[in-house]
Chain A
Amino acid sequence: MVLESGREREQRQVSVVPAEVLSGGAPAVDEPVRRPAELGPRARLWPSLVAVYRAQLSRARVARIPLLFVATFQSVGILVMMRGVVEGGREAESVVAGSAVLVVAFVALNLLAQYFGQLRASGGLDHYATLPVPPAAVVLGAAGAYASFTVPGTVVTAVFGCALFGLPVTHLWVLAAVIPLAGAALAGLGAACGLLAPRPELATLLGQLGMSAALLLGVLPPDRMPEPVRFLRDLLPSTYGVEALARTFGKGPDWAYVGVDLAVCAAVGVVSLAVATWAYRRAAVR
């Protein structure tokens, strides 16, 4: 089926032996077949991305549910805790936005870093590497699924926070942009950490550190932070998701600033997902 002599399309290497002689019974044992066979189809980007995304989503049913609850409980707990400290106003906006985006950091950054770290260490990447699937489909499919995992927890946290601190829920629809864009940025970072870390423990460590940074620098109101810490905060991609969401709680939000914050998330997302794709390619073939 593969070596049909009438169908070879290209003669990559010029053989000095005519094909008739080879197929006519010359002992072909010592010389490799000279005519390249037709290759199987390559999986295209979109269909394979969708297939990976769907498969990853279904994993939540089997594996991830406990951790998704943990992500939400953690953020709700922080809200309750901060209620005793923060009265309202801008500080409350920061706390609610920070806690909501923290769910994204927990799942997309921390859990995805762990997942890819373990997959790489256990040899699970071989499965994908021996399928004709574009590396970007594997990375984007997994990142997209992890970003999707954050939706319920983030929404629950934001709504609960608004109720607790008496903030308006009018503009919470902006989560529809914040979750995918902050999700892309943080999932990209998580995937890159998981695929680049030489050992799975390191991937877990990097994911945890990233989440801790998002917690400490994202939830606390920035006004009281010392200058170097505020600089660190500006380096963290989750900060821009927090800022974008926090701005929409006020009266008459400045949508231009919201847009700029979200654009930063998007840019970080593009860069980090590109790095993660490169890291996947590197990890798959050693």
Chain B
Amino acid sequence: MAPAVRPRDEVVCAVRGLTKTYPAVRGRRGTPATPEVRAIDDVRLDIRRGEIFGLLGPNGAGKSTLVRQLTGLMRPDTGSVEILGHDIVRHPERAARILAYLGQESTALDELTVSLAAETTGRLRGLDVRRARSERDAVLDELGLTAIAGRPLKKLSGGQRRLACFAAALVGERPLLVLDEPTTGMDPVARRAVWSAVDRRRAEHGTTVLLVTHNVIEAETVLDRVAVLDQGRIIACDTPAGLKEQVAGEVRVELVWRERAPLDVPEVAGLRERAAESGRRWTLRLAPEEARAVVATVTGGAAFAALDDFTLATPSLEDVYLALGGAARQGLVRT
């Protein structure tokens, strides 16, 4: 282990002024023109040793673009990325020797068996045959994949395939793991396997994790710190609890109407302009007293007949995202 006095303060990955603009595309037959898009706008980040650092944002917020620049897959227009003291913008090829990356695509591994996918990835990470095989066996065992080791990835369910790709990412130890939505499609057992494998590596080797997610529940439960990304900018960066404190004075009320809202009830009509509507569902962010009054209104009297369901909840990171001015109304998920 490193003899550093405060290992948690060591910056593993430092990003400064990172900017990436996709050029405008002229329209052709069948494809409309797209204007210039600033995918990443002056991003500054410090990821510390041993933490699980999250990038949270809706689809299209720039998470994947940012990660591609951190992993050396894409060159930024301006700005710097330094991982463990190495300049990744100038030497993108060094990223592969510092970090393991789990992307969203598995096409390179789809036609291999789980076992061969893990072994080959280990070999391409510089391990010799014996080492690659023993690490492969250990990782497959750790993740509960031994029983399906001989099956090709494309014959597996989405969650199992994702877990197999995660296994491949773990063969050949790296101090930094970059995981782009690793648990998509996984059942709770597989998710637990992922997070306990991550925790073991943090405890034993001080491994740092950069996690990309649009799942707010996962973000709240596993992340040490989270950067909220919206339209290429970081609009907040703190611990999940710290972020939620920003909206601590609010309660989220969700009302689901049977068919449509009873707008003939004046109290309900008055709520409409403060609600975010999504089909039959109204979402309101209110002070606790107001929330109590609303619940009293809709659970008694004429409105109750039109009510299908309601929930009252403390704020989540999704509320933080919206309170901070996040533009997308949809795109973050709670599953």
Contacts and interface: CB of A to CB of B under 8 A. Distances in A.
Chains A and B belong together in one complex: yes
Interface residues of B, number: 63
Given A23-B4, A36-B85, A285-B92, A1 B206 contact: yes
B175 A32 contact: no
Interface stretch (A85-93, A100-108, A122-130, A236-244): A122-130
Contact of B103 (A37, A42, A51, A127): A127
Max chain A C-beta neighbours (<10 A), residue from B85, B123, B125: B85
Given A4-B3, A55-B116, A63-B111, A37 B86 contact: yes
Contacts of B121: 127, 131
A279 to B, nearest CB: 16
Given A35-B85, A43-B125, A58-B112, A130 B120 contact: no
A91 B112 CA distance: 43
A32 B14 CA distance: 6
Contacts of B281: none
A248 to B, nearest CB: 36
B84 to A, nearest CB: 4
Interface residues of A, number: 56
B290 interface: no
Interface in A43-63: 43-44, 47-48, 51-52, 54-55, 58-59, 62-63
A267 to B, nearest CB: 29
Contacts of B108: 119, 124-128
Given A3-B4, A28-B9, A123 B103 contact: yes
B175 to A, nearest CB: 4
A134 to B, nearest CB: 10
Contact of A39 (B9, B94, B111): B94
A24 interface: yes
Contact of A43 (B2, B46, B126): B126
B171 to A, nearest CB: 11
Nearest to A34: B85
Contacts of B92: 285
Contact of A51 (B4, B95, B120): B120
B191 interface: no
Contacts of A63: 111
B120 A128 contact: no
A127 B101 CA distance: 8
Max chain A C-beta neighbours (<10 A), residue from B3, B73, B95, B106: B73
A251 B75 CA distance: 60
A81 interface: no
Nearest to B165: A127
B273 interface: no
B326 interface: no
B48 to A, nearest CB: 7
B86 A36 contact: yes
13 contacts: A3-B10, A23-B5, A24-B5, A28-B11, A29-B48, A47-B129, A48-B124, A51-B120, A129-B72, A130-B73, A130-B99, A132-B126, A285-B74
Interface of A: 1-6, 12-13, 23-25, 27-37, 39-44, 47-48, 51-52, 54-55, 58-59, 62-63, 118-119, 122-133, 137, 284-286
The 6 A-B pairs at the shortest CB distance, nearest first, are namely A36-B85, A124-B107, A41-B126, A32-B14, A37-B84, A127-B108
